Chain A
Amino acid sequence: MFKFILKRVIEAIPTMLILITVSFFLMRFAPGSPFSSERTLPPQIMENINAKYGLDKPVMEQYTTYLTNVVQGDLGPSFKYKDFTVNELVTAALPVSAKIGSFAFIFALFFGVAIGTIAALRQNTWIDYCVMSTAMLGIVMPSFVLAPVLIYIFSINLGFFPAGGWLDGSLQYMVLPVLGMAMMYVATFARITRGSMIETLNSPFIRTARAKGLSFSYIVLKHALKPAMLPVVSYMGPAFVGIITGSVVIETIFGLPGIGKLFVNAAFNRDYSLVMGITIIIGFLFILFNAIVDILLAYVDPKIRY
């Protein structure tokens, strides 16, 4: 197992390098600069600014400097928020996104699997049809449609939850963002679970277990659930990616001070170093999570050998 994990870590290095390189050169060759404003600055001042951020050096030197800094965990100063480094900004924003994202992920996984299993056990009854058509609605309803609908119903009309804001992550403020983020994945997990559960329940080893006279709930929980989880586990990677990407929209709608909102603002402000920093961190999270999923998959699926 240790060897397998080590191999994954080594494989991640070139990916990270490519990511850093691509985002670096994309930023350098982008037209416009974070310092260009309506008021043209005297050339001396521009020179000083460029010197401060190291922009006066040749591109390759800038690249190697940046790379060494990133490897040491320093993402450099923000171009727009002058008194902050990228590290400080990200450290402030990441916990917010992590909190909502992890709640949404756990919510989606738990309810998706539960609903999918129920639908599979009651296959082709009205319960199954209800659950699955609702799930289809969840899939086609993107977060940026669902979130306004949730706000309209639960904040404007019923007044149960606030329509936005964060307030240090108190529960009330988290309900709607988490729901808005998770519904699509509840639906997807439910569909996947239903399909693979039906397939598993039809396989010979379940028939054997039944013939032995085991109780049905015991069979489902002890025998069927684990093999039926295979496609669910492999969808966890894309779901994680989707939830992080979705945070951009959800955080904009609910006005949450998370990493998605920070990213959009940074992109609009042309804050190169902040945009690069966030892209690299998110890429790192993707790689980390995919590795975790692979390890989980190796644990669940006896066919995978490492």
Chain B
Amino acid sequence: MLTKKQNLDALDNFSDNLEIEGRSLWKDARIRFMRNKAAMVSLVILLAIIVAVIVVPMFAEFAYDDTDWYALHQAPSAAHLFGTDSLGRDLFVRTLIGGRISLMVGVLGAFVAVVIGTVYGATSGFIGGKVDRAMMRLLEILYSIPFMFLVIVLVTFFGRNIVLIFVAIGAIAWLDMARIVRGQTLSLRGKEFIEAAHVCGVSKWNIIRRHIIPNVLGIVAVYSTLLVPSMILTESFLSFLGLGVQEPMTSWGALLQQGAQTMEIAIWQIAFPAAFMVVTLFCFNYIGDGLRDALDPKDR
């Protein structure tokens, strides 16, 4: 028979064993993300590309606009790692500089889209009712406007300005974001735990801060990661048509366009920028998928 003291000890130990360290939503997500090999490898590669794109051109032997008339269309060699283009410019440096522009446009475009989309979607979802219906109707109208064509018009008529391109492609992409955020807020508003918080007397602001924002943020994070590659694609699309960044500045799309014209004689001029772009897009997509698996509450 157990003495009273042993009994108490057992109880203590029992509760000790039960005390598992509490994990927050984000910690949970981080652990899950770290377990995803494809996403982690992509993250490492992507970070390497970002660092290379920022740092390496500073120490490179050539500038992105240095022309060398004695080295036109040169195949990759020790001096020019990726070869040279039709004006004898070093493609290694140009690819990296182009990557800078492409990534910058991608991230800024996605940022614009996320900000507009989140604000619009959250407002629509929170207010609900007539306002919500009107806002969604407007969204539907915007959906059926051929934006890519309007952007082409804008860029040809109002000048090829990189800022304009940011704004223009950011302004297209927010539509999906707004829909997603609205749906999420709407469904959150009706959830039991929000009602429970109301009943407990938590203030409205605290509910938004403590419950709504963290839950919406996951989805926003996932779709922002997936937005960046699609922004990069859009910018390349415009650059490919000759409407993006202007010479001697360059981006991956512009390099691809030039490479496509000379690929019969100089395949490396398209191969390297294409490889960089495809790898980057791959990484963003895998990271996005990994984040979705880690943050999507449905999979809990």
In the complex with contacts A140-B278, A145-B274, A32-B157 CB distance below 8 A: yes
A15 to B141, CA, bound (A): 5
Contact with A along B133-152 (1 / 0, CB 8 A): 00000001101111011101
Closest to A252 in B: B241
- By the criterion CB–CB under 8 Å, are B263 and A267 in contact? no
State which residues 190-247 of A face B: CB under 8 Å: 241, 244-245
A148 to B277, CA, bound (A): 15
A84 within 8 A of B: no
- By the criterion CB–CB under 8 Å, are B278 and A279 in contact? no
B253 within 8 A of A: yes
The contact of B277 among A139, A145, A263, by CB within 8 Å, is A145
State which residues 16-54 of B face A: CB under 8 Å: none
Residues in A with CB closer than 8 Å to B267 are: 152
Residues in A with CB closer than 8 Å to B233 are: 142
* Most-contacted residue by chain B among A31, A145, A253, A264 (CB, 10 A): A145
Residues in A with CB closer than 8 Å to B192 are: none
A219 to B117, CA, bound (A): 41
- By the criterion CB–CB under 8 Å, are A249 and B282 in contact? no
A21 to B223, CA, bound (A): 32
The contact of B148 among A15, A147, A248, by CB within 8 Å, is A248
* Interface residue tally for chain A (C-beta within 8 Å): 46
Residues in A with CB closer than 8 Å to B157 are: 26, 30-32, 267, 270
Residues in B with CB closer than 8 Å to A282 are: 146, 149
B259 within 8 A of A: yes
- By the criterion CB–CB under 8 Å, are A144 and B236 in contact? yes
A287 to B140, CA, bound (A): 10
Residues in A with CB closer than 8 Å to B154 are: 26
In the complex with contacts A15-B141, A30-B157, A152-B267, A144-B146 CB distance below 8 A: no
- By the criterion CB–CB under 8 Å, are A253 and B260 in contact? yes
Closest to A290 in B: B144
Residues in A with CB closer than 8 Å to B144 are: 12, 15, 19, 283, 286-287, 290
B156 within 8 A of A: yes
A253 to B152, CA, bound (A): 17
**Nearest CB of chain A from residue B71's CB, rounded to whole Å:** 23
The contact of A144 among B229, B256, B282, by CB within 8 Å, is B256
Dominant SS at the B interface? helix
**Nearest CB of chain A from residue B75's CB, rounded to whole Å:** 16
Residues in A with CB closer than 8 Å to B278 are: 137, 140-141, 145
**Nearest CB of chain B from residue A232's CB, rounded to whole Å:** 18
In the complex with contacts A26-B154, A32-B157, A139-B145 CB distance below 8 A: no
- By the criterion CB–CB under 8 Å, are A267 and B141 in contact? no
In the complex with contacts A15-B141, A145-B274, A152-B263, A279-B237 CB distance below 8 A: no
B220 within 8 A of A: no
A141 to B263, CA, bound (A): 17
A47 to B288, CA, bound (A): 57
In the complex with contacts A15-B141, A136-B282, A249-B237, A156-B264 CB distance below 8 A: yes
Residues in B with CB closer than 8 Å to A278 are: 149
B122 within 8 A of A: no
A249 to B149, CA, bound (A): 12
B158 within 8 A of A: yes
- By the criterion CB–CB under 8 Å, are B149 and A263 in contact? yes
A119 within 8 A of B: no
A152 to B257, CA, bound (A): 14
In the complex with contacts A140-B282, A286-B144, A148-B270 CB distance below 8 A: yes
A23 to B149, CA, bound (A): 10
Contact with B along A132-161 (1 / 0, CB 8 A): 000011011110110111011000100000
A225 to B146, CA, bound (A): 32
**Nearest CB of chain A from residue B289's CB, rounded to whole Å:** 9
- By the criterion CB–CB under 8 Å, are B285 and A139 in contact? yes
Residues in B with CB closer than 8 Å to A27 are: 153
B82 within 8 A of A: no
Q: List 8 A-B contacts (CB under 8 A).
A: A15-B145, A18-B145, A26-B154, A26-B157, A30-B153, A140-B282, A245-B148, A270-B156
Given A145-B274, A279-B146, 6 more contacts at CB 8 Å? A15-B144, A140-B282, A140-B285, A152-B264, A263-B152, A283-B144
Q: Which 9 A-B pairs have the closest CB atoms?
A: A140-B281, A30-B157, A148-B260, A267-B156, A245-B148, A282-B146, A144-B240, A287-B144, A15-B141
